[in-house]
Structure 1
Amino acid sequence: MSLVTTAHDRAVATLTLNAPDTRNALSAALVAELADALDRCAKDPAVRAVVLAHTGATFSAGADLKAPPSPYAFVALLRRIVELPKPVVARVAGRVRAGGVGLVSACDLVVASEDADFALTEVRIGVAPALVSLTLLPRLDPRSAARYYLTGERFGAADAARMGLVTATAPDVDEALTPLLDALRKGSPQGLAAAKRLVAARVLETFERDAEELVQRAATLFASAEAREGMTAFLERRDPAWAI
């Protein structure tokens, strides 16, 4: 079974995360398939824009703790989305956690259902939102970033829009997507690529400046005793030793 399916409709390619049994966790295999699908879209002159969607009730639960991608592979995936010379629109109709939030924030536009919810839960397993900071911190307002990085609390679609993570919310996410995609279809390929370079420039500066440091920081955190305890507790569905 393909972990990422592709469909085309009037110059829009929809890439769907298709691993509902793992809540679309970001495994090494899923990250590789999504990267390949994005590369195909980049090279296809018939594709004007890309929608990143999901099966099941979860957009992505974050890193697959049993089969995670390398930090470099995940960073490369985020950069592919930011650098793709075509707009990438996230369609979110469910839960988004940890690395999945980073995936959403890499996209140019994000449309979320009103009942979608988000959380940066890394601190609860002994690590931090290091790699996803490359796409999150240039977009989020600083006070919101501090709150949700430090607490791991859930926040809804309206709060996600207020802090800069989500472009629009709606009761029916597909109904809200229709005029947005129709507008993108009216843009010229050259114009869309140039406009995207302008709005993505600050995010790409963060990659150039911070990517290697954050990869090293993430690797150190994940190799720590606290992270081992946190991940074991998560997989065993119990509280970690430090929880009070």
Structure 2
Amino acid sequence: MTLIDRTRARAVETLTLDSPHNRNALSAPLVAELADALTDCAKNTDVRAIVLTHTGNTFCAGADLREPPPPAALVGLLRQIVELPKPVLARVTGHARAGGLGLLAACDMSAASPRATFAFTEVRIGVAPAVISLPLLPRTDPRALARYYLTGETFDATEATRIGLLTTTADDVDEALTPLLDGLRRASPQGLAETKALLTARVLETFDRDAADLTALSARLFSSAPAREGMTAFLERRDPAWVV
């Protein structure tokens, strides 16, 4: 079963998350398949830029709790997007949760419709947004992250744009992306690669400095008793024991 659909038009490769059974959650197979697709795009001289989008009403529901990827694999995917010598743009017309927001932060640009909603839900299942902080902390408003990391509350696309998680929000996402993609098509591959390297240098410094510690933190938290209670409660559609 293919979890990533691929199409190409005028040098732009579109990678579509297509895992409806789990709302495009980051399962181990999906992470591996997306990483392979990005590797192919990086090597292909006919690809100028990549659009990452989704089927259904959810961009990405976060980590798949039934078949989660190893933390190191998720770190590798996020770093791959940041390091890719070609721009990666997110096209979001549905909801994004937890690890899905890490994907958005790793992308170079992103556009979402007003129908999209966002939430860092990790704290509500007994873990923390550890590895996704690698691209998020250097790129997103720290006071806003404090609020949304700690409360797990949902926010809309306008707020996501204000805090730096998105580039823009628009009723017609494709119309919003058109001038961005046209600009990329007019840019030289060398110019894009070198300019992206300038823009991502500080993000990659965060990966170099913190990836090992945050990977270990994620693994420790997900194997803890509170996380088992939180994930079980989520799957059983009930409140975990600590809710008061």
Give the 3-state SS of the residue equivalent to 1:153 in structure 2: coil
- Runs of 4 or more consecutive aligned structure 1 residues displaced over 4 Å after TM superposition: none
1:224 partner amino acid: S
Give me the TM-score of the superposition, normalised by structure 2: 0.99
Instruction: Give ranges in structure 1 of 5+ residues lacking alignment.
Output: none
Give the 3-state SS of the residue equivalent to 2:216 in structure 1: helix
Q: Which residue of 1 aligns with 2:177?
A: 177
Aligned residue pairs: how many? Answer: 244
- Within 2, Cα distance between the matches of 1:222 and 1:80? 23
- Which deviations, in whole Å up to 9, do the C-alpha atoms of 1:4-48 show, x marking residues without a partner? 011000000000000012100100000000000000000000000
Give the 3-state SS of the residue equivalent to 2:47 in structure 1: coil
Shift, 1:178, TM fit: 1.2
Q: Which residue of 2 aligns with 1:98?
A: 98
Q: Which residue of 2 aligns with 1:148?
A: 148
- Within 2, Cα distance between the matches of 1:184 and 1:117? 27
Q: Which residue of 1 aligns with 2:241?
A: 241
- Within 1, Cα distance between the matches of 2:16 and 2:141? 29
RMSD after superposition: 0.5
Q: Which residue of 2 aligns with 1:6?
A: 6
Task: Give matches, 1:34-183, under 5 Å.
Answer: 34-183=34-183
Shift, 1:103, TM fit: 0.7
- Which deviations, in whole Å up to 9, do the C-alpha atoms of 1:198-242 show, x marking residues without a partner? 111111000000000000111111111000000000011100000
- Within 2, Cα distance between the matches of 1:77 and 1:90? 15
- Within 1, Cα distance between the matches of 2:173 and 2:102? 20
- Within 2, Cα distance between the matches of 1:149 and 1:206? 19
- Within 1, Cα distance between the matches of 2:79 and 2:116? 25
Q: Which residue of 2 aligns with 1:29?
A: 29
Instruction: Give ranges in structure 2 of 5+ residues lacking alignment.
Output: none
1:240 partner amino acid: P
Shift, 1:177, TM fit: 1.0
- Within 2, Cα distance between the matches of 1:122 and 1:150? 9
Give me the TM-score of the superposition, normalised by structure 1: 0.99
Q: Which residue of 1 aligns with 2:220?
A: 220
- Within 1, Cα distance between the matches of 2:169 and 2:114? 6
